[in-house]
Structure 1
Amino acid sequence: MITRMSPVALVAASLFLTGCGGGAVAATGHATGSAPAPAAPSSSSPSPSPSSEISAEAAPRQLPGVGPRMLARIPATTEQVVLVAGRGEDSPLSTLALYERTDDGWQQTASWAAHNALKGWSDHHMAGDLHSPIGVYSLTDAGGLLKDPGTKLSYDQGSGFVSPGIGFEGESLAGSFDYVIAINYNRQPGTSPLDWTRPLGSSRGGGIWIHVDHGGPTHGCVSIAEDHMKELLRTLDPARHPVVVMGDAASLSH
């Protein structure tokens, strides 16, 4: 049986029990949104051997810093990757880059500064541990307090996307959930980011989102500037099966 709390109590408690999205008011319902070639060698340079030419042309561009085990978790159908590379295992600072799959491999199209959880990263995220979960997760659903900026992802706009209080560095959290993209860690894909279904159980946390940066570490989410959030929302296309690959540099290299 599910015990329902009042919206105010739910907000206060969930900030300590889940990821950043725990600060939003749970709600039901889900609105659907709108739908280089290598340079030639100079004449003064020795020509490469035929074998080296073949190997260079045949080797596709890989995701930088991502090792074979993590690469193997990316579905073959995925053509868009959001790569979140943490500065360190215990650091709340990271970089979010967007990659598109091309005939030559992965091509970076954007890169932005980001925050992650206060205590860095974990490969076994638990509710309230103040770590962001390491792994590869699909991206299917978005939402926010503000209207759809033109994303192809399903978009749920509503007053439940509020972020009360202050952050770890005393910064206001207001506007953090103006735009969010749900990371499909311990949630049911195809539902609003506000959906509280937790397939792994509530002890494993949830509410892990990409959202608007508030200038400090998060509870478990990844955050980028508002303009970058809007650009990311407009770029991601469910027909290209986007995923986020996230973790500290050492973990991603495996």
Structure 2
Amino acid sequence: MRILLLAGLIVLGLATPAQAADLAQADPAWFPTRLTHLGDAKQVIVVTGRSQKSSYATLRTYQRGSDGRWREAFPAMAARNGYAGWQWATRRVQDTGTTPAGTFRITETFGLAARPSGTRVRYRRVDGNDYWVGDRRDPRTYNLFQPSASARRTWRISQAERLASYPTQYAYAAVIDFNRAASVAWDAQRREYVARKPAVAGRGSAVFLHVNGKGSTAGCVSVSRTEMVRILRWLDPAAHPRIVMAPLADIGRA
């Protein structure tokens, strides 16, 4: 109702800039009108943690229409985050059990299960030979997908997630672009992906939005399998989707 009132007053020219700002503040803290790093996004996933140390969260989805207004795409979803709560992305350290707070793009998805019909964001079907690397020793392969355990690899299996080891969680997943390499190329000789502009080794890798496991995550965000499939089918690369994540008290700064 307050959104409709604001739109009507602006159209009629009856709201001053200050009044318009006051009305916008009536939106909940997690509503896209209150978020400041959305850029050109027309689809936004907002994850709000209960507190800085809590592993329980709420996930909401929003779509921006041709009229410029944001509308909720699906009802709010119960979510889980890292077992140690939250840490700002620029301060996060690998293996601390925290979920990075901030705003990130979503440009690719993957899963051990077949691509859900209607999925538009790039989807990679993965299997038992596929890994996600977190090897601090080699920044060139840090936080990158690798398609096999090649004998000539520069990364160590002991420092990588074998994706098939998490058949429930990684049935479906969306990659959160936290600490991602700016440029990646395929090294045909070593049969591995390498980063031309690497991520920060040690800050964290393999941060995804994925299917719920038995409890909290190691730094990812998770929702039910049904809701994860619904999100995958909804995401549209043409809408430049972003995910905004933080404790509720800090969501406006994420």
TM (norm. structure 2) is 0.67
The answer on whether the counterparts of 2:182 and 2:199 sit within 8 Å (CA) in structure 1 is: no
Alignment of 1:26-175 (within 5 A): 38=4, 51=14, 64-66=28-30, 71-75=35-39, 77-102=40-65, 103=67, 105-110=69-74, 111-123=76-88, 124-149=91-116, 150-159=118-127, 160=130, 162=163, 164=165, 174-175=167-168
Pair 1:183 & 2:146 matched: no
Instruction: Measure, in 1, the Cα distance between the counterparts of 2:194 and 2:225.
Output: 25
**Residue range with higher mean Cα deviation, 148-157 or 182-191:** 182-191
The answer on whether the counterparts of 1:141 and 1:189 sit within 8 Å (CA) in structure 2 is: no
Q: Secondary structure at the match of 2:231?
A: helix
Matched with 1:214 is 213
Q: How many residues align?
A: 198
Listed one character per residue, the Cα deviations across residues 71-115 of structure 1 (whole Å, up to 9, x for unaligned) are 23111x210000001111000000111001132532112221000
Instruction: Measure, in 2, the Cα distance between the counterparts of 1:84 and 1:196.
Output: 31
Segments of 5+ residues of structure 2 without an aligned counterpart are 6-12, 131-161, 185-191
Segments of 5+ residues of structure 1 without an aligned counterpart are 1-35, 40-49, 165-172
The answer on whether the counterparts of 1:60 and 1:105 sit within 8 Å (CA) in structure 2 is: no
Deviation at 1:215, TM superposition (A): 3.0
What percentage of aligned pairs have identical amino acids?
A: 29
Matched with 1:14 is none
Q: Which structure has greater strand proportion?
A: 2
Q: Secondary structure at the match of 2:171?
A: coil
Instruction: Measure, in 2, the Cα distance between the counterparts of 1:205 and 1:195.
Output: 18
Instruction: Measure, in 2, the Cα distance between the counterparts of 1:187 and 1:81.
Output: 19
Letter in 1 for 2:110: G
TM (norm. structure 1) is 0.67
